[in-house]
Structure 1
């Protein structure tokens, strides 16, 4: 190999290193043939812009937001990421009267929002003045907002939650998506054992409760089915056991009642509950309603009784409730008695009553389909199942205890799957 050839080869090598920055250890390449001559030509052609079509069904997702004190629906939608233009368009053509709409602090509003911030669906429960909450399912069809008046497809399934406390129980449960009604019930059922608000870092809460889903979104909750709290080295458990149409109560693993409840019924000669607490479908309209109390069927004039000592905080006409009396009891529980035929003389605001005192007569005033007593219980403004808080707790028979044991085993197996894990899970039973 001549010196001239070596110079040419190494000159090519230096050029390659400079251009690529890649180090080569050795080069062994045979001489390449000389490429045939060719002609180069530059061609420039202007192409038309492609036609872009906007997908009307842009990706959209359901989002949930908890209502805060003083919120309007517009403020809730704003926090959900809905654009100002979309909120304005909805407000102008809403199928419900937004001026009279009152949202409850703690309730959930769900909305389907697309990628550009437009809202296409909104759903939430709105209170009436008759002890019921009605599901407002609003949807935009062909650019027009309307209420969903078809037979609403709903599904009830148990929701499982498990959290480990890092700062406060209220904060941990809220971050895990546990609704305020469930948090209130949970606190009340263990109130004679410990204060839920005093749980500390490292304590844990697991609970199983009923959820109502509509179009894939949780719109309401029912009763807590089971709960387990670990605190200060102890484990407390609660199981919901139903007693037919009269509702249910909470018992520990040994069948002992967790809460004593009130000693008496709110009606004389109690025979039948015509409508229990909870979620139901209207038999004619097909709409979903949440009944916030218990209805006792009874003839007009039947005595309505104070089930526990208390103070009268309201006595008068109350919208769809008709003639109504409200009591506040020593334990902070508030009870309501609606559709009265008449009041009892001397039962006025500020009057102290004893358990068993007659406070009114059964009637059918207000928005009522027939004579009955509507009985509600609230704690800190939140409705709870009267059967679990403000009604006598029955003792379990041997057959009931055996049934409770079977239920306990089933729920314990379910809850064991997430025991000690700070996660939230929703599953079918």
Structure 2
């Protein structure tokens, strides 16, 4: 490669003579960069959607869709998709579909992850515990017009927003937050093969409103996934309901996402299960109104109570109902039915679910009576509180919305 440079040489005053010089330069080698197309793409399921319809929106060809929908796991286990659930696919750098995953709702308070992977020309179910990871997600939000709008714009999932509202309900109404107020929180996110699939419990949260700091910390005394919320001093943040649906019963299955080591499935449980004998009376844990009762899909015989404008409780797998009628007022302690094994159930138990504005939240955190901490528990709590508080304090004075995942 050569380059020509023209120059002007001055010999005498007011006299110029052009000269030409040629330099040889090393060739320039340009390496094209490969665009990374290997990433997850999401579609939100719309009313009436089938798997074929969702895949068509990803522009998947008809033959590929036929292979997927003919898989045994799809034919036998996926009866329908749940509206507003996230359906995800991943493609390689050549634009070929390699992975599909979504939660299948079995109408039983439980969702199972359907994970498909393509190897060569074959599709197979693909899931393993080693692929799952729970990490804390950190968010700091500055309110501009409304707290709800700010939380949504910050990408905070709806189940976290509803839990946050309920956690602080006895201290402050989230709707009273004004422009300039701040919200900071740390919550668990569950990842599978690098994609965020679900959220867990809020670990720590605080509101700053009119110069006052409101704080909440999650503490699980039994380390069984049934923790509750306390303020910075270790006092219960809220009292919850006055009683539990079944007295003295053991919680056999907690709220949240778990990997089942025997069945090799990832499950999202939208309530808590009480292991208790068939025929055991089920009591209303708080005053409410009978919103509905009857057969409800995989829940079998089920009762739904409404406790206020936002909170409902559901009781599934009953063997029988008490003498109920729609719109009937019930008081805390009233018998609403009896434990059974109706619907999709492997044995007698009560499935107890709490919904805030239709969104399932952890009953242990917002509805069960909150217990006071003893001296040993309080000491353990303070160590945990100091750790989370130091994380929140790092950006307490920032005036912008940020998100950080560790």
TM-score by length of 1: 0.79
Distance 1:218 1:91, change over 3 A: same
Please name the residue that 1:312 is paired with.
Answer: 290
Secondary structure of the 2:39 match is strand
Number of aligned pairs? Answer: 379
Please name the residue that 1:135 is paired with.
Answer: 113
Distance 1:30 1:23, change over 3 A: closer
Shift of residue 137 of structure 1?
1.3
For structure 1, which runs of at least 5 residues remain unmatched after alignment? 1-18, 34-54
Partner Cα separation in structure 2 for residue 166 and residue 114 of structure 1: 40
Task: Tell me if the contact between 1:309 and 1:330 (Cα under 8 Å) persists in the aligned partners.
Answer: no
The match for 1:163 among 114, 125, 141 is 141
Shift of residue 277 of structure 1?
1.1
Please name the residue that 2:330 is paired with.
Answer: 353
Distance 1:27 1:242, change over 3 A: farther
Partner Cα separation in structure 2 for residue 180 and residue 66 of structure 1: 14
Shift of residue 104 of structure 1?
3.9
Please name the residue that 1:394 is paired with.
Answer: 371
Shift of residue 385 of structure 1?
0.3
Matched, 1:294 2:268: no
Please name the residue that 1:120 is paired with.
Answer: 98
1:260-299 residue pairs with structure 2 within 5 A? 260-267=239-246, 269-299=247-277
Task: Tell me if the contact between 2:55 and 2:65 (Cα under 8 Å) persists in the aligned partners.
Answer: no
Deviations 1:401-423 (A, max 9, x none): 22221111000122233432522
Distance 1:78 1:234, change over 3 A: farther
How large is the RMSD of aligned CA atoms in angstroms?
3.2
1:245-256 residue pairs with structure 2 within 5 A? 245=224, 247-256=226-235
Distance 1:109 1:199, change over 3 A: farther
Please name the residue that 2:350 is paired with.
Answer: 373
Secondary structure of the 1:59 match is coil
Distance 1:229 1:77, change over 3 A: farther
Please name the residue that 1:3 is paired with.
Answer: none
Matched, 1:417 2:394: yes
1:124-273 residue pairs with structure 2 within 5 A? 124-148=102-126, 153-244=131-222, 245=224, 247-267=226-246, 269-273=247-251
Shift of residue 162 of structure 1?
1.6
Please name the residue that 2:66 is paired with.
Answer: 92
Shift of residue 176 of structure 1?
2.9
Deviations 1:52-110 (A, max 9, x none): xxx9x97311244556677666776677xx3x2x16455433342599423343x4443
The match for 1:407 among 378, 384, 401 is 384
Task: Tell me if the contact between 1:310 and 1:328 (Cα under 8 Å) persists in the aligned partners.
Answer: yes
Please name the residue that 2:88 is paired with.
Answer: 110
- Relative to structure 2, which stretch is displaced further, 323-332 or 167-176? 167-176
Distance 1:191 1:88, change over 3 A: farther
Task: Tell me if the contact between 1:295 and 1:373 (Cα under 8 Å) persists in the aligned partners.
Answer: yes
Shift of residue 149 of structure 1?
5.1
Shift of residue 232 of structure 1?
2.3
Deviations 1:296-352 (A, max 9, x none): 1111111100001111122111222111111111353111111111111x2122221
Distance 1:104 1:208, change over 3 A: farther
Please name the residue that 2:27 is paired with.
Answer: none
Distance 1:143 1:250, change over 3 A: same
Partner Cα separation in structure 2 for residue 331 and residue 228 of structure 1: 24
Task: Tell me if the contact between 2:142 and 2:181 (Cα under 8 Å) persists in the aligned partners.
Answer: yes
TM-score by length of 2: 0.83
Deviations 1:137-178 (A, max 9, x none): 122332344432555621112111122233433333333332
Secondary structure of the 2:386 match is helix
Task: Tell me if the contact between 2:37 and 2:94 (Cα under 8 Å) persists in the aligned partners.
Answer: no
Distance 1:400 1:75, change over 3 A: farther
For structure 2, which runs of at least 5 residues remain unmatched after alignment? 20-33
Structure showing greater Rg: 1
Distance 1:150 1:235, change over 3 A: closer
